[in-house]
Amino acid sequence: VTQKLLLGIDIGSTTSKAVLLDATGSLLAKVLRKTGHQPRAVALALREELLAGRDAGADAVSTVATGYGRAMVEFAANTVTEITCHARGVRQLHPEVRTVVDIGGQDSKVIRLDEAGLVQDFAMNDRCAAGTGAFLDVIASRFGLTLDQLAELHSTNPTPLAVSSTCVVFAETEVVSLISQGRELNDVLAGVHRAVARRVATTVKQLGELEPIYFSGGVALNETIRRELELALEKPVTRCREPQFTAAWGAALLARD
């Protein structure tokens, strides 16, 4: 008998992720690709890459799709919202979690879980780029920095400058003008990180900031944002294991149920 494989696919606005678990929920493989403008093709490519070389007939794979482009995953048996999938994924990796802070490429979400791990409440910001990875991406490319270079900022101990614009387009102008006034790039970048973290922290506070708090999404790879969240909340914020894969992970687990 071939073992059932569980496939979770998260078509994000910026990055698409896929996780393959065995029937017991153990990780077999994971992959990530830019979503670009062809989410259908990306979904197929992710599946192909994960199943390559595995003895898996069509019946042997159960797929759940999530994320902003989940409707584009034509071969999925089911689609589930990102809120449910993130909650499920983070709870699997960190059973004690009560608050998930997820910052992705174009949105941020805060999810509160009850003691049993069920979603109690959530807030999502997908209207304003200032509290998302998009702000960091715009600033990084403006100064020709990779995301890793941007995230390494914490090693230099900068003094964050105020970045007060609430819109990314204006904030970029503000940042450029700080540089032209002779301010240190690192201090300006520190201000950008602080602005993103404070924006998200406001939402966390509104939702009750129940501990322990775990940080997921691609932006959780940025250590400066994690530290700034802790400063703004005055509470520990822990980077989730596999932070960029939590929704895909949750989707795979939901493919079993």
The residues of the shown chain that bind ligand ADP, judged by CB under 6 A, are 12-15, 104-106, 133, 136-137, 147-148, 151, 217-219, 221-222, 244
Closer CB to ligand ADP, 192 or 201, in the complex: 192
Q: Contact 130/198 with Cβ under 8 angstroms?
A: no
Distance CA 90, CA 241 (A): 8
Q: Which is nearer to ligand ADP, 158 or 217 (CB)?
A: 217
Which residue has the CB atom at the shortest distance from ligand ADP?
218
Nearer to ligand ADP, 147 or 176 (CB): 147
Going by the DSSP 8-state scheme, the letter that residue 7 receives in this structure is E
What is the distance in angstroms between the CA of the first residue and the CA of the last residue of the chain? 20
Task: State the minimum distance, in angstroms, from the CB of residue 246 to ligand ADP.
Answer: 9
Q: Report whether 239 contacts 226 (CB < 8 A).
A: yes
We find the least distance from the C-beta atom of residue 222 to ligand ADP, in angstroms, to be 4
DSSP class of 174: H
Shortest CB 231 distance to ligand ADP, Å: 18
**Considering Cα of 118, then 121, then 127, then 132, what sign does the dihedral take?**
negative
Give the strand pairing for 237-239 and 213-216: parallel
Q: Nearest approach, Cβ of 137 to ligand ADP (angstroms)?
A: 5
- Residue 151 Cβ vs ligand ADP, minimum distance, rounded to whole Å: 4
Collect contacts of 234-238 with beta carbons under 8 A, ≥24 apart: 235/209, 235/211, 236/211, 236/212, 237/101, 237/213, 238/94, 238/212, 238/213, 238/214
Nearest distance from C-beta of residue 182 to ligand ADP, angstroms: 27
Neighbours of 24 (CB within 10 A): 8
What phi, psi does 75 have (nearest 5°)? -90, 0
- Please report where in the chains the tokens 């509104």 appear, as a residue: 206
| Residue (64 or 136) nearer to ligand ADP, CB | 136
Q: What distance in Å separates the CA atoms of residue 26 and residue 223, rounded to the nearest whole number?
A: 27
Q: Which lies closer to ligand ADP via its Cβ, residue 56 or residue 134? A: 134
* Least distance from ligand ADP to the Cβ atom of residue 214, Å: 14
Taking the least distance from each CB to ligand ADP, the nearer of 56 and 192 is 192
